[in-house]
Amino acid sequence: MNRTEDIRADDLIALIQQYNPQTNADLIRQAYAYGEKMHEGQFRHSGEPYFTHPVAVAAILTQQRLDDATIITALLHDTIEDTKSTFAEVERLFGTEVAELVDGVTKLTNLQLDNVQSKQAENFRKLFFAMSKDMRVILVKLADRLHNMRTIKSMRPEKQLQKARETMDIFAPLAGRMGMQWMREELEDLAFKTSNPEARNSILRRFATISKDSGDVIAQITGDMQAELEREGITAQVYGRAKRPYSIWRKMQEKQLAFSRLSDIYGFRVITDDDMACYNALGVIHRRWRAIPGRFKDYISQPKSNGYRSIHTTVSGRDGKRVEVQIRTRQMHDVAESGVAAHWSYRDGERSHNPFAVDPVKWIASLTEQFSHDADHEDFLEAVKLEMYTDKVFCFTPKGDVVKLPRGATPLDFAYAIHTRIGSASVGAKVDGMRAPLWTRLRNGQSVEIITAQGQEPKLQWLDMVATGKAKNAIRRALRAAQRDRSIELGRELARVAFDHIGRKSTDKALDTAARHLRLTDRDELLARIGDAELSAASVVRAVYPDLAPEGEAEVDRTRAVAGLASGQAIQRACCCQPLPGERIMGLGLRGKGVVVHAIDCAALEKFDDLTDAWVDLSWHSGVHPAIYTVTLDLTIANGAGVLGQICTLIGEQKANISDMEFVDKKPDFYRLHVNVDLRDCEHLHSVVLALQAQTDVAQVQRLRDPARSDCIMPQV
């Protein structure tokens, strides 16, 4: 563990001068002294002076050959948050660039995973916003997290577990996404060591056993490869290592394999002088050792979005052991080690012009573009994780253009990657010239042609078929738009009924007036809120005609609920359609049964087409009706403990009463039942149905209307 006296200012400057002899040593020394003074009297959990931490973070960044501003930011990254230092003072002493970097790191210090989903998504938004301003903020934050994980043993056990989860879920995949694979692997392994030490130790013991039984396998294979390459006149350096315990553990979990059945637990890198030597080296290795089918990837011809280039292959080495081999040039290797950070790397005192380093501004723009319009926190969080965790496959359009997709992507992902309009209109696909379902998992090198059709719209089940955040977001936006259209139509009908109650028309002008009075954006917003039960149609009527629809509207006399009856006529509701106040109705005068009230669209009325003399034109009286009108709901719910009780409670919360219940079908995983609910009107029905649809344990809910029950008469109103 490094103490302050272990890495003094001159030691840090010496580390920087190894790659940047032109460093401003005086400014580094000044920043070191300022940070040490600001943190004076502060100590870490281990008892060390706190300033050992910023110094260690700065030392980690020198390994990536970063510029002076980033190194100074590392030395000062906790000063504004934890000391009496201020932004203005840092700006005065070290310049605006450093002050803004320090401030950017400070704003990321409260990145917590254990909060609610919306908070976690907001943290990601904040993280990406900081990256878009200057990615060096994230480089400092990653180095800060790496040193904290290296020294995590001094924290409380519960704090260790929290930091390990946070590291595994956010910082490690972010480092990998940025191309800093070495940092991702170390962060994952340190988090694994904290969260599951028994599993990690068991893997280390197996390695020790293998080494004891078969000797130094890495040195043997490295020597074999080096000799083969030299024999062919290829200048290259070969490096080998055992894969980290977490990498092996993850593969065991994903493939459900025991350690003894894992084969490629060793990895080797071949570093050459140029591209041609990479392919020549690949030929030598494949001639000498048998290549494993399906394990070849050429990231030189198809680089990853973070600039990563390399050839990957897996071969059967000594004693049939599978080994993974990565072949790349020195410049490619620098990008593979530093990722996006290679953009700032220095060599011999000058900014290193690595042709393979990506422009961080363009990189972060491509990563965040699809999230900019996503207002839903959970959707944003899911999309970010999908983009950060997945590896890539490369597919081709019919014209030969390359489309990069995450592993597990489907033709739907491919279509949305080309254009949202094409994705939304997809009806099928051809993969390598053959028709394939939209849920087909794509593989590297396949050619994909999307078949579209006019009028096609995204379906809810598409969400389970796609793997990219862009596709999921586009589908959800389309579904929300379609739902809004349905809500507007329903709201329009509810508004029409409410205005009809007072003898007025729900004209566009009346609705516009109500929207202005209720301070809503426009007429569509008003109707959508009515359709979503966020606003009652009665309140809209009151906004336009307060005198005709007073706030304290009287309850309708249950004996005179319907207008249009002759004196002394009794009415009964038909149980085939169970009409409700707010719906258009028609009466049918039947001998001995008074007038039976049907919904005007009731299918059972067809059998009475010839009885024109029996038809009676009816309408509901305006006003507040009592909750006495029974409607049968057809429900399909999960078969789980407490689910039925939750459903009953939910209906009660909507001021509705359950008068009867009948189980229609019982299965191990679901129940189907008919529930009789007493309601006031169709608005009341809509609010109950909407509440049930929002319940995760309700698979389906619909109003039951059965023409076969037309002879059944509900109790007299």
**CA end-to-end distance (rounded Å), the chain:** 84
Please answer whether residues 272 and 232 qualify as being in contact, where contact means their C-beta atoms are separated by less than 8 angstroms. Answer: no
Active-site residue (options: 11, 48, 81, 275): 81
- The DSSP code for 443 is -
Return the SS3 of 38.
Answer: helix
Burial of 271 (0-12, 13-18, 19+ CB in 10 A): buried
Is 378 designated active site? no
Q: How far apart are CA 286 and CA 169, in angstroms?
A: 37
634: which strand partners?
Answer: 674, 702
Residue type, 534: E
Q: Which of 319, 345, 317, 320 is nearest to 330 (CA)?
A: 345
236: which strand partners?
Answer: 272
Please answer whether residues 409 and 441 qualify as being in contact, where contact means their C-beta atoms are separated by less than 8 angstroms. Answer: yes
Q: Say which residue the tokens 């007493």 belong to.
A: 678
Q: Which of 272, 264, 320 is nearest to 294 (CA)?
A: 264
- What are the percentages of helix, strand and coil residues in the chain, rounded to 5? 50, 20, 30
Is 387 designated active site? no
Active-site residue (options: 11, 48, 82, 706): 82
Tokens of 171: 């910082």
Q: Which helix (H) or strand (E) holds 656?
A: none
Residue 159 CB partners (closer than 8 Å, separation 6+):
none
Q: How far apart are CA 646 and CA 631, in angstroms?
A: 20
Return the SS3 of 274.
Answer: coil
CA dihedral 574, 580, 583, 589 (to 10 degrees): 30
Half-sphere exposure of 667 (CA within 13 A, CB side): 9
Q: How far apart are CA 527 and CA 511, in angstroms?
A: 8
**Catalytic residue positions?**
81-82
